[in-house]
Amino acid sequence: MYLSKEEKQEMFAKHGKGKNDTGSAEGQIALFTQRINHLTEHLKNNRKDYNTERSLVMLVGKRRSLLDYLTKKDVLRYRAIVKELGLRK
Q: Which domains does the chain have, with CATH numbers?
A: 25-85 (1.10.287.10)
Q: What is the pLDDT of residue 1?
A: 59
Which tens digits make up the pLDDT trace of 29-85?
999 999 999 999 999 999 999 999 999 999 999 999 999 999 999 999 999 999 999
19 or 7: whose pLDDT is higher? 7
Phi (first) and psi of residue 4, to 5 degrees: -80, 170
Q: What is the pLDDT of residue 28?
A: 94
Dihedral, CA atoms, 30, 35, 4, 9, nearest 10 degrees? 10
Q: What is the pLDDT of residue 3?
A: 84
